[in-house]
Structure 1
Amino acid sequence: MSTEMVIEHEPEIGFEVVNRVAIVTLNRPRALNALSHEMIGRLSQVFERCRTEDAVLAVVLRGAGEKAFCAGGDIRAIYESVRSDATRDKTWLQFFIDEYRLDYAIHNFEKPVVALMDGIAMGGGMGLAQGAALRIVTERTRMAMPETRIGMLPDVGATYFMGKMPLDLELYVGLTGAMLSGADAVACGLADICVPSPWLRDFVQRLETLHWDGREEAIDSLRRAFVPPANTEGHPQLEAHREQIRARFSAADGIESIVRSLQQDTPTEWSTATLAALTSNSPCMLEVTYHALLRGRQLALADCFRMELGIVYRAISEGDFLEGVRALIVDKDQRPRWEPVTLAEVHAERVQHFLASPWKGDMHPLEGLGAS
């Protein structure tokens, strides 16, 4: 079968079609392919083009360079946008609105999407990948949702897709920002297959040899290109701590009870690191994230995005986000001044305020999301 190739050159988004498969490349390797607002807009255009073109049967989403699929959104750019928003008209909010719409579109894309999460896959990168029909990781994958460290919550649909995990694992990963290996990601249900990283270097050549029987069989053909005949996924590192995670994070009694149980443990490397993460992250956003994750398990995807946007709005406009980014990313003094300082000072009314929508009725920016 002859192969047709069309190549376009974009500064931050690469696009080519190989044998009816669109290969979309996040092309900011020096920034670990972190998403700018311009990239989100371009990706939305590319996916819409792929949706409507009969010549495209599937989409492959990958990151440029050797280090990352996508390290998330460009947090520093958002930080600077918020700080320079002298008119207080919340222009920065459009970044999240557009990002969530893109992520939702990928979750509901009519054609198979393959996400190659080789290297770092965090935050906004997870938002792009978790809607894919085939989520591929490697032994080099380093996956996390570390938003509570900067005064945010795991967003980009995380309150939905993490809700497919067992509750203890969801709370552990979502609250601590724990780093997962490729094998861990498969074990947690955040990836479908773990393949050797070198296997992905030649995937374009394998795509060229595919014979398409029709759109319905496209995902089976793609598996032949991306899943090696003999594959060993490796041993999940989380298994060594699974009982401790289950014992500490299964009961839905709140963050303070989790922290107390860890403090009462005989110290181990795992319990010490877990306790350090929980006691250094934003107390307010830990509580908000805890309740948002529980609530998200009962919500449809579109409703999760709407809930997350409201929480992000409050976290940035009146919460700990600016201080978290200052301390961890801008000044890097690692000394965030959270408000309030301790979990005991986080009042239930404050948590419910973050969980309540800032918009009345049909004024929500994502009101139409999911409408037929």
Structure 2
Amino acid sequence: MDLPAELRERPGDDPDDVVFGSKFSLRTIELNRPKKLNSLNDSMIRKILPRLMEWEKSDMANVVVMKGAGEKAFCAGGDVAALAELNKSTDDGWAKSAEYFGLEYKLDHYIATYQKPYVAFMDGITMGGGVGLSIHAPFRIATERTVFAMPETTIGFFPDVGASFFLPRMNGQVGTYLALTSDRLKGANTFYSGIATHYVNSTSLLDLEARLGELRFRDYDSLETRLRLINDTIEEFTTGIPHDEPIHIAGELRKAIDRCFSHGNIDEIIAALRNEKGATEEWAARTLEALQKRSPTSLHVTLRQMRTGSRWSIADTFRREHAMATKFMKHPDFTEGVSALLVRKDTPTWKPASLEEAAKVPGDIAAPFFAFEDVPENMRLRLMNNRDYTEYPHAHLGVPGESEVEEAVLAGGGRTRDQVVTEIVGRRNGRQGIKTVVREILDRKTSPGEGGAVRWHSD
């Protein structure tokens, strides 16, 4: 394969940081830096992307599995410590860091638009760059060891790797909440929230992988037909969601998240959190404390990102995030945040230093990061293909969202709660966990009507 220069092996690349496997029609990619929690670097990307391109053209490769070595992490993120050091090393270090993000986003976009079934084993820590390798896949498998987060505001950055696309499309204000606070979701809750499409115990992953390798497709099978077969196969290995792990973001907490994080600026979100009383008052106090520790610039940029990203296509998302990342490489908060938290192990000194100081900055502190026309032509991201979409094409493989439940309530002509549950669970062939998700949505968004029918609350 005639590769562009950016994908060719370079001196110093670790030959063993990615391990590729082949069994029958299954192809596997194992991130192999367990001591670094499989953090993603450019050496790994230069191996992975060409192999994905090769397999996509091959009639012998039918399913691709992405996984991480060891028991602790799928992928804990990008190697941001190396980028911060690069930013400090030379005057043009920021430009070299921007090149890394460009390479990473090309890989993420390629995965998001891949034309063959792609399965991500989100076993262990799945954060930052690891989310980019998994969240856009049609199949995202969580286990009891999964720990999901987008922790970028803690290091003076913004949720990237396509977060502009997937977080605003989550139910209500959950995506905005996760983006601003860096809160973590663990185990089954990554499934309940829609981050993962399936939940499987980690002890079953090897057997599932072997079974995927045994699948046989006919030449004329459509991609959708193949995805349905893989979906049914994954379901064979589900052994039940732990009963002691209820939905975390639900009930009064979920209502509070929607109340507080629906506002259009950070000051209003802070004020709303301060006004929380009763059952959610303690949560609000913890959330306020967390936000005060984040980079003020990151918070303002991230909130605007959450409000505008829902209108971006998947290709626009990565192009614009690359422009934003380039500007963050020039901003002091990223290098300071990474150096303080990951190297010095102390408290970062942000610029501006606090949300109060940020409020005194003339103009809109976030606006420069969204001035995409300012990016020189030679620094604009050029993706590996021209594929694009405005909504995930295989969203039906995951858990139902509020819009689907609303449609089932309103289109049914007076359906009861049980009828709505039965309808949506039936659409997913009785998959585990779906009933729990639908019931939680109905608890919050409906009330009893005449004759037992449920009424949807649009507020």
TM-score normalised by structure 1 residue count: 0.91
What SS does the corresponding residue of 2:21 show, helix, strand or coil? Answer: strand
Which of 123, 132, 152 does residue 118 from structure 1 map onto? 123
> Please, which moves more after superposition, 77-86 or 52-61?
77-86
The Cα of 1:166 is off from its aligned counterpart by 2.4
Superposition map of 1:97-246 within 5 A:
97-214=102-219, 215-216=221-222, 217-228=225-236, 231-234=239-242, 235-239=246-250, 241-246=253-258
Flag the 1:368–1:230 CA change in 2: closer, same or farther, 3 A. Answer: closer
The residue that corresponds to 1:345 in the other structure is: 357
Q: Which amino acid aligns with 2:320?
A: M
Q: Which amino acid aligns with 1:292?
A: Q
The residue that corresponds to 2:293 in the other structure is: 280
Superposition map of 1:20-31 within 5 A:
20-31=25-36
The CA distance in 1 between the partners of 2:324 and 2:375, in whole Å, is 14
Is residue 2:50 matched to residue 1:39? no
Q: Which amino acid aligns with 2:288?
A: L
Which of 264, 268, 273 does residue 275 from structure 2 map onto? 264
The Cα of 1:326 is off from its aligned counterpart by 1.5
Flag the 1:89–1:107 CA change in 2: closer, same or farther, 3 A. Answer: closer
The CA distance in 1 between the partners of 2:385 and 2:216, in whole Å, is 34
The CA distance in 2 between the partners of 1:282 and 1:360, in whole Å, is 23
What SS does the corresponding residue of 1:329 show, helix, strand or coil? Answer: helix
The Cα of 1:305 is off from its aligned counterpart by 1.3
The residue that corresponds to 1:5 in the other structure is: none
The CA distance in 1 between the partners of 2:120 and 2:324, in whole Å, is 27
The Cα of 1:186 is off from its aligned counterpart by 2.4
What SS does the corresponding residue of 2:96 show, helix, strand or coil? Answer: coil
The residue that corresponds to 2:317 in the other structure is: 304
The CA distance in 2 between the partners of 1:34 and 1:360, in whole Å, is 28
What SS does the corresponding residue of 2:20 show, helix, strand or coil? Answer: strand
The residue that corresponds to 1:247 in the other structure is: 259
Is residue 2:348 matched to residue 1:336? yes
The Cα of 1:162 is off from its aligned counterpart by 1.2
The Cα of 1:349 is off from its aligned counterpart by 3.0
Contact 1:12–1:28 (8 Å) recurs in 2: yes
The CA distance in 1 between the partners of 2:202 and 2:255, in whole Å, is 30
Which of 381, 398, 402 does residue 366 from structure 1 map onto? 381
The CA distance in 1 between the partners of 2:382 and 2:143, in whole Å, is 37
The CA distance in 1 between the partners of 2:94 and 2:39, in whole Å, is 25
Flag the 1:198–1:368 CA change in 2: closer, same or farther, 3 A. Answer: closer
> Please, which moves more after superposition, 236-245 or 132-141?
236-245
What SS does the corresponding residue of 2:120 show, helix, strand or coil? Answer: strand
The CA distance in 1 between the partners of 2:141 and 2:319, in whole Å, is 28
The CA distance in 2 between the partners of 1:236 and 1:63, in whole Å, is 26
Cα RMSD of the aligned pairs, angstroms, is: 2.1
The residue that corresponds to 1:6 in the other structure is: none
Flag the 1:369–1:292 CA change in 2: closer, same or farther, 3 A. Answer: farther
Contact 1:116–1:137 (8 Å) recurs in 2: yes
> Which aligned segments of 4 or more residues in structure 1 are displaced greater than 6 angstroms?
none
The Cα of 1:167 is off from its aligned counterpart by 4.0
Question: CA-to-partner distance for each residue in 1:238-284, whole Å, 9 max, x for gaps?
Answer: 2252122122112x231111112222334744223211211100011
Q: Which amino acid aligns with 2:162?
A: G
Q: Which amino acid aligns with 1:365?
A: R
Superposition map of 1:68-83 within 5 A:
68-83=73-88
Q: Which structure 2 residue ranges, 5 or more long, are not aligned?
A: 1-13, 388-459
The CA distance in 1 between the partners of 2:206 and 2:369, in whole Å, is 44
Identity of aligned residues (%): 35
TM-score normalised by structure 2 residue count: 0.74
Is residue 2:304 matched to residue 1:291? yes
> Please, which moves more after superposition, 350-359 or 160-169?
350-359
Contact 2:34–2:73 (8 Å) recurs in 1: yes
Contact 1:106–1:132 (8 Å) recurs in 2: yes
Flag the 1:28–1:349 CA change in 2: closer, same or farther, 3 A. Answer: same
Flag the 1:24–1:281 CA change in 2: closer, same or farther, 3 A. Answer: same
Contact 1:160–1:301 (8 Å) recurs in 2: yes
What SS does the corresponding residue of 2:241 show, helix, strand or coil? Answer: coil
The CA distance in 2 between the partners of 1:302 and 1:82, in whole Å, is 27
The CA distance in 2 between the partners of 1:130 and 1:361, in whole Å, is 30
Matched positions, count: 362
Question: CA-to-partner distance for each residue in 1:183-211, whole Å, 9 max, x for gaps?
Answer: 32223222111122212132233234433
